[in-house]
Every structure is written in C-alpha cells, then in structure tokens.
C-alpha cells in the first residue's frame, strides 16, 4: 500500500473499499461533529453506506476524477482528505477534508491537504485548486489560508443544512502561487 508520513504517528493513505468497516467505525466517532460541514451523502450511518461511499469514490478515481484518502494516527482512522472534484482536462480540482474531534489541532489536515495540492500541481500539472466551506466554519477557513489560498468570494445562502441556508466561502490557489519547491 502506498502511504505518506504526515508527522509523528500519522500517515495519509488511499481510503478504499476494503476499509469499509474501519470507515464506518470512524464515522460513528465523527458523524455528529462533521455533519454540519460536509455533504449529507458523505456522512453515512452504517457499513453498507460506508461501502457505497468508498465504491463511489473508487469509480470516480478510476475515471481520473475525485479521490478519497484517509488519515491514520497511531493506526486509527481519524479523518481524511479528498479531491471533491478533479479534472485534468480543465486543470482544476476542489479539495475537502474531515476530522474527528480527537485529532484536531495537530496540523494533520493542513499537512494532508498540502500533499494533495503538491500532487495536483506538480505531478498532474493542474492550474487551480479550490476550497469550499461554510462561512461560519472558522477552522476550515483557517486551513485554506494556511494553504496559501485566497478568499475569492462568498456565495450567499448556498449551503443548506437542517432547513437553513448558510453562506459558502470559495477559496482558491493557483499553481503559480503555491511554493512547492523542496517537497
């Protein structure tokens, strides 16, 4: 299996169909914490739902599209990062993430998303990467900023959740703006 060390005891690796039970267990720990911030279809409630999500991302990856990666800390799946969308033809992607509360504040998301940006820009030659988040998700906005992204705008009431509509921020970074030397 291919994996990348992020920092002490943490690694980034492909999150695949054979991880369905582990993914479902992780979502049991993370579900209520991440539900307001990620798409509803992502937050599954059981192993079958986890398997469906992993299968969907596997199919997209096979078509050179979206991809899903897990973050393991001390051997336990604690979150992940993804290409929500990925288009070599358009030269752009959108990156997303999620993390259970026990793993917050350790820089895991910033490191993992930095690796995704480097791969997209350096290995695949993409031109632009985006980050979408609810405007009231300060932690997510802070990650985008740490990644060198610029806030390009706010889409008013574009994020529906539990009968309300929240503003959505759009952050982006261009390959020419990202320092990928030495990585």
Express each pLDDT in 36-52 by its tens digit. Answer: 788 777 778 889 999 99
Position 21 scores a pLDDT of 95
> In the prediction, which pLDDT does 147 show?
96
Check residue 126 and give its pLDDT.
Answer: 97
**CA-based radius of gyration for the chain:** 16
The separation between the first and the last C-alpha atoms of the chain, rounded to the nearest angstrom, is 21
The C-alpha torsion from 131 through 96 and 157 to 37, rounded to 10°, is -140
Q: How confident is the model at residue 75, as a pLDDT?
A: 92
Domains present along the chain, CATH in parentheses: 3-177 (3.40.630.30)
Tokens of 137: 């998700």
User: Mean pLDDT in runs of 10 for the chain (183 residues)?
Assistant: 80 94 91 80 85 94 95 94 96 95 92 95 97 95 96 96 94 88 40
């Amino acid at each position: 299996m291919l994996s990348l060390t992020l920092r002490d005891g943490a690694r980034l690796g492909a999150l695949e169909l054979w991880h369905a039970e582990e993914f479902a267990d992780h979502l049991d720990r993370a579900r209520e914490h991440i539900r307001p911030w990620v798409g509803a279809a992502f937050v599954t409630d059981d192993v079958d739902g986890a398997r469906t999500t992993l299968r969907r991302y596997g199919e997209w990856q096979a078509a050179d599209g979206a991809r899903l990666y897990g973050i393991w800390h001390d051997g336990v799946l604690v979150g992940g990062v993804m290409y929500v969308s990925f288009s070599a033809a358009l030269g752009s992607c959108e990156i997303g993430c999620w993390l259970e509360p026990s793993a917050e504040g350790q820089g895991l998301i910033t490191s993992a998303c930095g690796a995704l940006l480097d791969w997209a820009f350096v290995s695949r030659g993409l031109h632009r990467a985006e980050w979408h988040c609810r405007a009231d998700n300060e932690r997510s906005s802070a990650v985008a900023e740490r990644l060198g992204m610029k806030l390009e705008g706010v889409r008013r009431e574009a994020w529906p959740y539990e009968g309300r509509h929240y503003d959505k921020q759009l952050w982006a970074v261009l390959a020419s703006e990202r320092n990928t030397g030495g990585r």
